[in-house]
């Protein structure tokens, strides 16, 4: 358990996280059941600490019908993010139809809502990924950052160097500059590689923290994801398509509701 170490820390005026790094680095998954006692009051999944903080972060989660993971994720993440003393808000972007899952389009919609609400930093995040190191700060770096590069299901190795999926942090300005992600990837796979091509096109060199800080565990789920049959062809034209397929070509309806632990964006 994280314990405040001295009285001075109780009156912190800035949200430095070096004390977090110093105090305790790893979180045990079995803490999840006890998290309720640790989190501060939240509305719409937003929390603002009473101190100067880093630029505000929006945590954007593409989602459909994984209630158990949702409960684990939001409880764990409020605890985790509050230890990092961030101003943040969790957005769950819920695909409310039976079409193939369109992860990138949901991320575009979440990013649009977050940007419209004034968030300068976007954390694009799968719901089954649980960060294990407090040093993995959920704020944006100057360049886009691949956060989940050390994942237990990949035996803590990167499958390939340009992988840019799972959990990434990107400034809203940069996301707008590259026109977000493609809306055309229906089903599993490829949309994150397409996203990476957009970064390359705009000379945005991505970064990673070291492997020990970038550790994640993946929550188990049934592997019933249908693959995108088009992904190979789509990827071939990723760079040229980015001019007209992305954040500026969203034509999907959605509603936004504040729930206690998250902002719920329902996409029809």
**Strands, E, within 132-212: which ranges?**
145-146, 150-151, 167-171
Cβ-proximal residue to ligand BGN, closest one: 189
As beta bridge partners, residue 168 has 124, 146
CB 123 within 8 A of CB 161: no
> Does 159 help bind ligand BGN (rule: CB under 6 A)?
yes
Q: How far is CA 266 from the centre of its chain?
A: 18
Rounded to a whole number of angstroms, the minimum distance from the CB of residue 154 to ligand BGN is: 8
Rounded CA separation 8/129 (Å): 34
| CB-nearer residue toward ligand BGN: 44 or 62 | 62
**Residue of 126, 192, 197, 245 interacting with ligand BGN (CB under 6 A):** 192
Q: Which residues have CB under 8 Å from 232's CB, separation 6+? A: 190
> Does 235 help bind ligand BGN (rule: CB under 6 A)?
yes
The alpha carbon torsion through 249, 252, 255, 256 (nearest 10 deg) reads -30
Site string for ligand BGN, 195-234 (x = CB under 6 A): ------------------------------------xx--
Rounded to a whole number of angstroms, the minimum distance from the CB of residue 25 to ligand BGN is: 26
Q: Which stretch binds ligand BGN (CB under 6 A): 24-32, 62-70, 172-180, 190-198?
A: 190-198
> Does 110 help bind ligand BGN (rule: CB under 6 A)?
no
Rounded to a whole number of angstroms, the minimum distance from the CB of residue 255 to ligand BGN is: 29
Backbone angles phi, psi at 256, to 5 degrees: -125, 125
| Residue numbers at the binding site for ligand BGN (CB under 6 A) | 159, 163, 165, 189-190, 192-193, 231-232, 235
């Amino acid at each position: 358990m994280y314990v405040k170490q001295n009285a001075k820390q109780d009156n912190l005026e800035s949200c430095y996280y070096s004390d977090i790094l110093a105090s305790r680095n790893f979180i045990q998954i079995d803490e999840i059941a006890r998290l309720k006692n640790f989190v501060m009051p939240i509305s719409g999944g937003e929390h603002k600490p009473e101190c100067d903080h880093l630029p505000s972060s929006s945590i954007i989660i593409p989602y459909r019908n994984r209630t158990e993971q949702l409960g684990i994720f939001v409880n764990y993440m409020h605890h985790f993010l509050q230890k990092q003393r961030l101003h943040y808000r969790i957005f769950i972007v819920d695909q409310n139809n039976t079409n193939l899952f369109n992860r990138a389009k949901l991320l575009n919609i979440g990013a649009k809502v977050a940007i419209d609400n004034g968030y300068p930093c976007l954390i694009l995040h799968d719901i089954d990924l649980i960060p294990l190191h407090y040093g993995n700060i959920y704020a944006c770096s100057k360049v886009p950052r691949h956060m989940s590069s050390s994942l237990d299901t990949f035996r803590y190795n990167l499958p390939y160097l340009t992988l840019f999926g799972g959990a990434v942090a990107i400034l809203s300005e940069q996301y707008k500059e590259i026109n977000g992600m493609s809306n055309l990837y229906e089903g599993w796979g490829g949309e994150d590689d397409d996203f990476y091509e957009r970064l390359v096109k705009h000379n945005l060199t991505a970064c990673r923290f070291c492997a020990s800080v970038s550790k994640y565990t993946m929550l188990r789920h049934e592997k019933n994801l249908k693959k995108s049959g088009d992904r190979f062809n789509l990827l071939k034209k990723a760079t040229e398509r980015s001019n007209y397929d992305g954040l500026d070509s969203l034509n999907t309806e959605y509603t936004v509701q504040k729930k206690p632990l998250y902002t719920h964006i329902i996409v029809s």
